[in-house]
Structure 1
Amino acid sequence: MSTAPLTIYRPGLAVGRDAQVLHRAATPEFSGWLEHTRPAGGCSRPIRLTGTIAAVDRNTGRITNWLHTDELPDRALYKACGNRRESRCPDCAWVYQGDAYQVVCRGLTGGKGVPASVGQHPVVFSTFTAPSFGPVHHRHVSRHTCAARQRCDCRPAPCRARSTAGTCPHGQPAACFVRHDADDPRLGQPLCLDCYDHAHQVVWNYFSGELWRRTKQAIERHLAALCRKRGIPLVRVVTASGKVRWVPPVRMSHGKVAEMQRRAAVHFHVLLRLDGVDPDDPDALVPPPAGITLDDLEDAIHVAARQITVITPAHPDRPRGWLVAWGEQIDVRRLNTASGELTDGKVAAYLAKYATKATEATGHCSTRLTPATIDDYADPEGDHLARLIDACWHLGRLIHTDTSSGAAAASDRQDSLDAKPNTYGGLRRWAHMLGFGGHFLTKARRYSVTFGQLRDTRATYRRTEDDQPADTITVGILTYIGSGWLTEGDALLANTAAQQRRESRRIGREELAHEGWLIGAAA
């Protein structure tokens, strides 16, 4: 199947781009093309599809309209790539960030199918950090005097001031007296690369999801024990299959975002909300029993964070496995206090922002690594990131058993027979993520709405906006033919039009909000 040629975007092609813009804008079909590309307008690399699109009556199953993409502009259907990473596609990440904000915020205040009563449930904002794998350069401000942390200009303390520190076993200084700026490239870099435990860090990233799962279970067990101690009875629940279960009267719902630190270790920002259990409707969101308070939730978090650890499976490089535990800095804060530092909106915006990030903070950004590309990034004697990637690739290798003769395998087939599954094999798959293979935004099932519900609502709105009958569904039989705009001029036109539409919507929302404020003030 042939695909249309793509133009490689280079700054030196500015003249060619202008000619492409003029050529496209001068065609009689320009308005139709602009409307046709509207769903993908703003996307950096939209997906191009070919095939047929049919409108089907929902009641009778009869096809009321039939269209082939050869009849459309550029003989293709454009669809936004939907990438959540801001570094890959800012426009699609902007849409994802808006959905992430709704997912997080609705679990705090209600709305979009979530009852408003959840705003009265106890909730805390917790940060779980990784332990130290070796000293790194860092910036610490002991007391902030700035108005906004995003534009903090406070004077930091010395990085690692040590009056008696000499050198490490490898001859590197064990102290640093520099007051690092916020954009100092040395931040997050080890003081000594040879002292730093890169293997332990990538293993921690890899098993951090399991550590969080066990921690949440421990928090729920701690709260259930408090209920028994205080005489709060279990709740009788009948499952969908008719079985009777007795469950604790309190359960915990969470929304979690992973953030990659500059040292390339993951830590988690988690919203933890206490819910009760309704015996008549187990899926209903009801307040927890009066005997369980925010103080109890905070205590449960600290107890679980101190006690829960994971011992990883044995590895030839580490027969006893690695210890995976939380770091010493476990921060637990309450929302909507008198200080106003943490509100529902601020926390939701903060988590939504990090949902569009990945490894950009570390300075590394690549697609999934393969044996053909690994040598471009991994180096056991290289810098911090190169050693982390090399540790992922090395620990994820095939593990061979010893043969009775001690001779090497004679063929690739024999290599596969002598190899046994490696629990750490996923480290190679996630080497480009420095070992972390989890989702950057996760939540409990009952916490809030889902991304799928938000997408369905948006699709329904678009069908209504296009005057599509409610009893008609669209069925497409489409094939992928390529990605990206056909020319740099097309990208400029489509993205500019999308930016203008977005700015128009923003101004409209501000006008409506101002009009509502005027009506309220007059009343």
Structure 2
Amino acid sequence: MSTPLTLSRPGLVAGRDAQALYRATAPEFSGWLEHTRPAGGCARPIRLTGTIAAVDRDSGRVLSEQHTGELPDRTLYKACGNRREAQCRDCAWVYQGDAFQVVRCGLTGGKGVPASVGRHPVVFATFTAPSFGAVHHRHVARHTCRSRQRCDCRPAPCHARREAGTCRHGQPAVCFARHDADDPRLGQPLCLDCYDHDHQVVWNYFSGELWRRTKQAIERHLAALCRKRGIPLARIVTASGKVRWVPPVRVSHGKVAEMQRRAAVHFHCLLRLDGVDPDDPDALVPPPAAITVDNLEEAVHAAASQITVTTPPHPDRPQGWLVAWGEQVDVRRINSAGGELTDDKVAAYLAKYATKATEATGHCSTRLTPATIDNYADPEGNHLARLIDACWHLGRPTGTDTTSGAATADDRQDSLDTKPRPYAGLRRWAHMLGFGGHFLTKARRYSVTFGQLRDTRAIYRRTEDDNTADTITIGTLTYAGAGWLTEGDALLANTAAAQRRRATRLGREELAHEAWLVGAAA
């Protein structure tokens, strides 16, 4: 006769289903489900303990106080907020929605951004990395598919040549395969020994500086064009009372970094042309009529072809590395007549990549340390192992605190050369294959911020109940742990969150359909 399963202690229950059954049959299940709702769907929520107080907004008097020991599980659950879809799908979904709003508001206005920005000239530019060696790729000369995500177009041969040859290491220099979109060989070098892994990780590391100088060059090109066309400078009075004369145009950007399969980053950038109001420098006003989207497009191409960065000297390469953009610089106009790109399409496109990092390369790890580096780095290993090894090797201490190069006329280059251990960050960002920048950045005047969106959402949640509209919730909380207590709890909370998301999505689709019907009838 078998022994019946005891469900009195969920931490010792054998199996996720049994844990979920224990929780679902408990009398306080409904309260627990509502209690975990803020973190529902999170893969690894933060558990907090402490005191939560309700304070009167006007008088500051404490109206009520509650300790987390009185709550279900004696803890407060908070979503982890991780933006990476590979780490937490639900939190990445929230982040993606915020990213969509950040990008879209800079194109159409809303949430504090004036709607007039929708009439400003805007281009969508893609800056790619140069070649560091031949890799397997999939090239479709002309797409006929309806969706690139499910592309079934016939690609061209990978590296077809009339004469089959080999590299100096004896590896084939040709590839006649027509790779599928999910072919694991895509992005892999034809010859690992020919590929310049050192240069690629250095390019990833200094790509942020290359972008900074490129944007400066775009604005300088437009400023020179204003002088040529007789458009006067704008007189600005700073907060300290000083008078500054600035160009009458400025470029506001929203930028997303995407990691390619070959593990080199490239940037998708929205560049919006704004004017300058002397009476209100922070106002978003149209640019001068003489400066058009044609001039903005010309400035982008000119800057991309001219701007380079020479990295500081390194013991392995005393002359440094040249960091420049690749030949493929694509510039398209947004909402132009007959154009394929619209505000919503571009915003959704950039928001999608804001939740990704190195997943496209097949590598996903936390920050590497001397204790874990040997698990990933190998100078004789595959493509990713060699890139990680290059980061760790180039970022090693060299015995000197500074490296200095020959004096140049460019002060910015001098500041790079005299920076203490300019390559030390490669070890810190070895798990990101050298790239240490944010995957979504924007100019200060481009749009709203993530903080503003989060604050608005928090205020709405606090005030949706009329009884709490005049109170402020103050928590004195400390970290107690991360993750759900059991796999059964995770199953129940995440399933409930998925159902709420689905209901929300269906509701939005219905509202959009009704609005379309009303517009069609009118």
Distance in structure 2 (CA, Å) of the matches to 1:519 and 1:167: 65
Distance in structure 2 (CA, Å) of the matches to 1:518 and 1:179: 45
Distance in structure 1 (CA, Å) of the matches to 2:26 and 2:465: 25
3-state DSSP of counterpart to 1:400: coil
| Equivalent AA in structure 1 for residue 226 of structure 2 | C
| 1:147 Cα deviation after fit | 2.0
Structure 1: give runs of 5+ residues left out of the alignment: 403-419
| Equivalent AA in structure 1 for residue 459 of structure 2 | T
1:173 matched to 2:177? The reply is no
Match of residue 269 from structure 2: 270
Matches within 5 A, 1:331-410: 331-400=330-399
Residue pair 2:120, 2:287 contacting (<8 A) in 1 also: yes
Distance in structure 1 (CA, Å) of the matches to 2:400 and 2:281: 50
| 1:244 Cα deviation after fit | 1.0
| Equivalent AA in structure 2 for residue 314 of structure 1 | P
Instruction: Identify the range of structure 1 (153-162 vs 349-358) with the bigger mean alpha-carbon deviation.
Output: 153-162
Structure 2: give runs of 5+ residues left out of the alignment: 1-8, 402-418
Change (3 A) 1:401 1:119: closer
Match of residue 47 from structure 2: 48
Residue pair 2:51, 2:65 contacting (<8 A) in 1 also: yes
| Equivalent AA in structure 1 for residue 173 of structure 2 | A
| 1:165 Cα deviation after fit | 4.9
1:499 matched to 2:498? The reply is yes
Match of residue 279 from structure 2: 280
| 1:512 Cα deviation after fit | 2.5
Residue pair 2:189, 2:195 contacting (<8 A) in 1 also: yes
Distance in structure 1 (CA, Å) of the matches to 2:447 and 2:216: 20
Residue pair 1:159, 1:180 contacting (<8 A) in 2 also: yes
Distance in structure 2 (CA, Å) of the matches to 1:245 and 1:47: 48
What is the TM-score normalised by the length of structure 2? 0.93
Q: Identity over the aligned pairs, expressed in percent?
A: 84
Change (3 A) 1:476 1:255: same
3-state DSSP of counterpart to 1:511: helix
Distance in structure 2 (CA, Å) of the matches to 1:496 and 1:65: 33
3-state DSSP of counterpart to 2:15: helix
Matches within 5 A, 1:116-155: 116-155=115-154
Instruction: Identify the range of structure 1 (140-149 vs 298-307) with the bigger mean alpha-carbon deviation.
Output: 140-149
| 1:350 Cα deviation after fit | 0.3
| 1:510 Cα deviation after fit | 2.5
| Equivalent AA in structure 2 for residue 21 of structure 1 | A
3-state DSSP of counterpart to 2:475: strand
| 1:509 Cα deviation after fit | 2.0
Residue pair 1:126, 1:330 contacting (<8 A) in 2 also: yes
Distance in structure 2 (CA, Å) of the matches to 1:385 and 1:329: 24
Match of residue 405 from structure 2: none
Match of residue 93 from structure 1: 92
Matches within 5 A, 1:164-203: 164-203=163-202
Residue pair 1:123, 1:274 contacting (<8 A) in 2 also: yes
3-state DSSP of counterpart to 1:480: strand
| Alignment root-mean-square deviation, CA | 1.7
The count of aligned residue pairs is 497
1:103 matched to 2:102? The reply is yes
Matches within 5 A, 1:197-216: 197-216=196-215
Residue pair 1:6, 1:484 contacting (<8 A) in 2 also: no
1:513 matched to 2:520? The reply is no
Distance in structure 2 (CA, Å) of the matches to 1:6 and 1:342: 53
3-state DSSP of counterpart to 1:476: strand
Match of residue 298 from structure 2: 299
Residue pair 1:397, 1:422 contacting (<8 A) in 2 also: no
What is the TM-score normalised by the length of structure 1? 0.92
Distance in structure 2 (CA, Å) of the matches to 1:6 and 1:233: 74
3-state DSSP of counterpart to 1:65: strand
Distance in structure 2 (CA, Å) of the matches to 1:113 and 1:169: 60
The CA deviation string for residues 455-494 of structure 1, in whole angstroms up to 9 with x for no partner, is 0110111012233533321111111111111011111110
Matches within 5 A, 1:243-262: 243-262=242-261
Match of residue 35 from structure 1: 34
| 1:340 Cα deviation after fit | 4.4
Residue pair 1:6, 1:485 contacting (<8 A) in 2 also: no
Match of residue 411 from structure 1: none
Match of residue 413 from structure 1: none
Change (3 A) 1:268 1:132: same
3-state DSSP of counterpart to 1:510: helix
Residue pair 2:10, 2:22 contacting (<8 A) in 1 also: no
| 1:212 Cα deviation after fit | 0.1
Distance in structure 2 (CA, Å) of the matches to 1:181 and 1:285: 46
